[in-house]
Chains A and B, each alone.
Chain A
Amino acid sequence: MVMEGNNLNADKKGYSFQQESHRHLEKGHDYLVALAGNPNTGKSTVFNALTGLHQHVGNWPGKTVARAEGYFKHMGKRYKLIDLPGTYSLHATAIDEEIARNFILFTRPDIVVVVVDSTTLERNLNLVLQVLEITDRVVICLNLIDEATRKGLKIDEKQLSFDLGVPVVPTVANAGKGLNDLVKAIAGVASGKIHTNPHHVALNPEIGKAIDEITPYVKRVAGDLPNTRWIAMRLLEGDNRIREALESGELASLAKSNQDGRRE
Chain B
Amino acid sequence: MMVATPKKAELKELLDRVQRVASSIRESLDDHITSSIYADAKLIASKAVTKTEVPEIDIDAKIDRIMTSRITGFPIMFALMMGIFWLTIEGANIPSHLLAEGLFWLEDQFVLLFRWFGAPMWLEGLVIHGIYRGLAWVVSVMLPPMAIFFPLLTLLEDVGYLARFAFNIDRLFKWAGAHGKQAITMVMGMGCNAAGVISCRTISSPRERLIAILTNNFVPCNGRWPLLILMTTVFVASKFPPALSSVVSSLLMVAIIMFSILTTLIVSAILSRTLLKGETSFFVLELPSYRRPKIIHVLYTSLIDRTIKVLYRAVVWAMPAGALIWILGNVHIGSETIMAQIAGVLSPVGLLIGLDGIILLAFIVAIPANEIVIPTIIMGYMGTSMMVELESMAELQALFVAHGFTVVTAISLMLFSVLHYPCATTTHTIWKETGSVRWTLLSNLIPLTVAFLTCFIVSQALYALGFG
Contacts and interface: CB of A to CB of B under 8 A. Distances in A.
A236 B289 contact: no
A210 B25 contact: yes
A243 B206 contact: no
Interface string B295-313: 0010000000000000000
Interface in A186-239: 199, 201-204, 206-207, 210, 213-214, 217-218, 220-222, 232-233, 235-238
Interface string A129-156: 1100000000000001001000111111
Contacts of B22: 210, 236-238
B17 to A, nearest CB: 6
Q: Is the interface of A mostly helix, strand, loop or mixed?
A: helix
Given A147-B289, A221-B14, A163 B6 contact: no
A20 interface: no
A175 B17 CA distance: 53
B62 interface: no
A218 B14 contact: yes
Interface string B276-300: 0000000000101101001001000
A94 B281 CA distance: 12
B241 interface: no
Nearest to B47: A159
Interface in B207-222: 209-210
Contact of B36 (A96, A160, A201, A249): A201
A159 B14 contact: no
Contact of B33 (A94, A213, A233): A233
Contact of B14 (A66, A214, A250): A214
Contact of A153 (B17, B49, B209, B286): B49
Task: Among B5, B21, B25, B48, find the residue whose CB has the most chain A CB atoms closer than 10 A.
Answer: B48
A199 B206 contact: no
B41 A122 contact: yes
Contacts of A125: 40-41, 44-45
Interface stretch (B227-235, B344-352, B430-438): B430-438
A174 B286 contact: no
Contact of B206 (A2, A144, A160): A2
B206 A257 contact: no
Interface string A171-195: 0001100000000000000000000
B157 to A, nearest CB: 11
B70 interface: no
Interface stretch (B50-58, B188-196, B248-256, B411-419): B50-58
Nearest to A158: B48
A164 interface: yes
Given A151-B54, A174-B297, A202-B36, A213 B41 contact: no
B41 A246 contact: no
Contacts of B435: 2-3
B17 A213 contact: yes
B15 to A, nearest CB: 7
Interface string B14-50: 1101100110111001101110111011101101111
Interface string B112-155: 00000000000000000000000000000000000000000000
A256 interface: yes
Given A164-B44, A201-B36, A221-B11, A40 B288 contact: yes
Contact of B52 (A123, A152, A257): A152
A125 B38 CA distance: 8
B291 A163 contact: no
Nearest to B54: A152
B299 to A, nearest CB: 13
Contact of A2 (B11, B286, B297, B434): B434
Contacts of B37: 126, 129-130, 201
B1 interface: yes
Given A2-B434, A249-B3, A204 B14 contact: no
B13 interface: yes
A214 B17 contact: yes
Nearest to A160: B48
B395 interface: no
B1 A18 contact: yes
Nearest to A223: B6
Nearest to B160: A40
A253 B210 contact: no
A249 B22 CA distance: 23
A134 B47 CA distance: 24
B4 to A, nearest CB: 7
A259 interface: no
Contact of A214 (B11, B18, B52): B18
A18 B5 CA distance: 16
Given A122-B41, A125-B40, A126-B38, 16 more contacts: A2-B206, A3-B435, A18-B1, A40-B286, A96-B204, A121-B48, A125-B45, A147-B289, A151-B54, A153-B52, A156-B47, A164-B44, A201-B36, A204-B36, A214-B21, A222-B6
Interface of A: 1-4, 18-19, 39-40, 64-66, 94-96, 119, 121-123, 125-126, 128-130, 144, 147, 151-157, 159-160, 163-164, 174-175, 199, 201-204, 206-207, 210, 213-214, 217-218, 220-222, 232-233, 235-238, 243, 246-250, 252-253, 256-257
25 contacts: A1-B206, A2-B210, A2-B435, A2-B439, A3-B209, A3-B435, A65-B201, A121-B49, A122-B41, A128-B41, A151-B54, A151-B289, A153-B52, A154-B51, A156-B47, A157-B48, A199-B44, A201-B36, A214-B18, A217-B14, A218-B14, A220-B14, A232-B18, A235-B15, A236-B29
Top 5 closest pairs, chain A to chain B, by CB:
A152-B54, A125-B41, A253-B3, A122-B45, A217-B14
